[in-house]
């Protein structure tokens, strides 16, 4: 029998600071280790912070203003001292950690989920395949290479971010890959109560269909942070309020404990993997309840690259006198 202690973490970023937010995450990992947590999910792009400004500024304001550039300068490269610090904290805590970051590659940002195994190894870096609406002004697109579950010390884990949970084929890719724990993450402190309600539907439905545990984390903005964003962007408080639903869901779609709706804190629960088998005895959507001869999914997991080279290998491995047949 496998029982894993998991935590869904609702945490505030240190606004506008990658390094300070990393330090806060590292402290939280050590804190969770003291109560025996073996797996933790942190919010979407919590390092350094979610680009709330992209939802409230016009494209012209984004281009002419400083917010996008500031986020670019504070973003995370992989690997880097920032990722090394999270990996070291995971190793010291003996904890598997899933966390969302703004990843920078060149001049482009990505909504990226990082998964560290309990020995500190980065075992998955996946990018949100399609940023949602206004997010497309900020983030590039990911590829299908991250649409897979990964074996870790605590089990087989899949990850998706925010509105990716409205893409049934993306979810099915992870379900068919045998995920036992699903790490879900959303921005938090955004878009009001309706957003939180739709989030709850998303994560509970995924647990019910997949027969796995869902550990979901949202971030939190305090009043001072809201005031700072309002000052910097000219927005009202409404778009940067509410929308928090940090929770853990059982394989039958039922909430384990009370979700966290306001403030910083954690939802901690024991995940008994026997519940996965019990759920799938009734309905296994990728097994006995599936009809693959009628319905199937084609996935292209080829990593996308902006550079494709031809001929270099051939020139390096032939001499001037070589004959090519």
Point out the residues that are catalytic: 44, 128, 162
| Residue 163 CB burial class (10 angstroms; 0-12, 13-18, ≥19) | middle
What is the number of other CB atoms lying within 10 angstroms of the CB of residue 247?
26
What is the number of other CB atoms lying within 10 angstroms of the CB of residue 254?
11
CA separation for the pair 124, 43 (Å, rounded): 16
Q: How far from 131 is each of 140, 141, 161, 173, 302, CA to CA, in Å?
A: 7, 7, 9, 18, 19
Contact between 165 and 171 (Cβ < 8 Å): yes
Sheet holding 108-116, edge to edge: 122-127, 108-116, 96-105, 39-41, 3-10, 265-272
């Amino acid at each position: 029998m496998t029982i894993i202690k998991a935590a869904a973490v609702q945490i505030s970023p240190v606004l506008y600071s990658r390094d300070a937010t990393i330090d806060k995450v590292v402290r939280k990992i050590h804190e969770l280790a003291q109560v025996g947590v073996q797996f933790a999910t942190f919010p979407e792009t919590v390092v350094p912070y979610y680009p709330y400004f992209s939802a409230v500024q016009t494209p012209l304001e984004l281009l002419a203003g400083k917010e996008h550039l500031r986020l670019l300068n504070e973003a995370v490269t992989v690997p880097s001292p920032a990722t090394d610090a999270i990996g070291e904290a995971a190793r010291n805590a003996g904890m598997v950690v899933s966390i969302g970051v703004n990843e920078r590659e060149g001049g482009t940002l990505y909504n990226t989920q990082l998964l560290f195994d309990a020995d500190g190894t980065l075992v998955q870096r996946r990018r949100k395949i399609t940023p949602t609406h206004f997010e497309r002004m900020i983030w590039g697109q990911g590829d299908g290479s991250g649409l897979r579950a990964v074996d870790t010390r605590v089990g087989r884990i899949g990850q998706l971010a925010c509105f990716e949970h409205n893409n049934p084929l993306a979810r099915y890719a992870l379900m068919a890959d045998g995920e036992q724990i699903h790490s879900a993450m959303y921005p938090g402190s955004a878009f009001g109560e309706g957003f939180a309600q739709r989030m709850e539907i998303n994560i509970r439905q995924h647990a019910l269909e997949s027969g796995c545990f869902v550990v979901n984390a949202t971030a939190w903005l305090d009043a001072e942070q809201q005031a700072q964003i309002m000052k910097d962007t000219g927005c009202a408080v409404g778009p940067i309020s509410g929308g928090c639903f940090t929770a853990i869901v059982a394989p039958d779609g039922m909430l384990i404990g009370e979700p966290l709706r306001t403030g910083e804190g954690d939802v901690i629960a024991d995940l008994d993997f026997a519940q996965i088998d019990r759920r799938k005895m009734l309905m296994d959507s990728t097994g006995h309840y599936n009809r693959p001869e009628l319905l199937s999914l084609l996935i292209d997991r080829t990593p996308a690259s902006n550079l494709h080279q031809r001929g270099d290998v051939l020139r390096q491995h032939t001499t001037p006198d070589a004959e090519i047949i």
